[in-house]
């Protein structure tokens, strides 16, 4: 029984350590704005004192059709642990998500870009509907 006592004490110390509040630096928000529009489109941006920022814009494409969708363009940036600015740009929509940036492997960007142009698979109907 006593040989498990050190493990029990360690478990209690670890559990108590996780319960303590963690102090975090409060980062000032320098600007923030979001605009939503009646058609479902929007734009949004924010920036903070530590160099982090994000902006995004979405527009409706193929309005009032079966293929109506949002197309999104945006970017974000931050300072990594090495003090370097990292910036990523992206597009997203009915043809997928395509990221661009120095931290994004160029092969990923190329494959995502190529996949946007691939023909879409026809939607398969359940077998019961095909026979009807």
Asked whether residue 129 is domain-assigned, the answer is: no
Q: Which residues are paired to 31 by β-bridges?
A: 47
Asked whether residue 84 is domain-assigned, the answer is: yes
pTM of the model: 0.67
Asked whether residue 125 is domain-assigned, the answer is: no
Asked whether residue 45 is domain-assigned, the answer is: yes
Residues 80-101 pLDDT 10s: 999 999 999 999 998 888 899 8
Asked whether residue 13 is domain-assigned, the answer is: no
Asked whether residue 57 is domain-assigned, the answer is: yes
Find which of 4-13, 32-41, 60-69, 102-111 is predicted with most confidence, using mean pLDDT: 32-41
Asked whether residue 24 is domain-assigned, the answer is: no
Asked whether residue 14 is domain-assigned, the answer is: no
Amino acid 26: pLDDT: 92
In eight-state DSSP terms, residue 3 is G
Range of the domain at 71: 29-116
Total tally of structural domains belonging to the chain = 1
Task: Scan for tokens 């004192």, then name that residue.
Answer: 49
Q: What is the CA 84 to chain-centroid distance, rounded?
A: 20
3-state secondary structure of 72: strand
The pLDDT of 39-55, averaged and rounded, is 96
């Amino acid at each position: 029984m006593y040989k498990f006592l050190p493990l029990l004490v360690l478990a209690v110390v670890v559990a108590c350590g996780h319960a303590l509040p963690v102090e975090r630096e409060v980062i000032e928000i320098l600007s923030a704005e979001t605009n939503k529009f009646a058609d479902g489109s929007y734009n949004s941006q924010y920036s903070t004192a530590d160099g982090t920022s994000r902006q995004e814009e979405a527009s409706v494409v193929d309005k009032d059709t079966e293929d109506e969708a949002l197309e999104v363009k945006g970017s974000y940036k931050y300072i990594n642990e090495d003090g370097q600015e990292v910036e990523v740009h992206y597009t997203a929509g009915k043809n997928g998500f395509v990221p661009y940036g120095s931290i994004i492997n160029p092969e990923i960007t190329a494959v995502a870009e190529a996949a946007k142009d691939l023909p879409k698979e026809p939607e398969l109907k359940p077998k019961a509907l095909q026979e009807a």
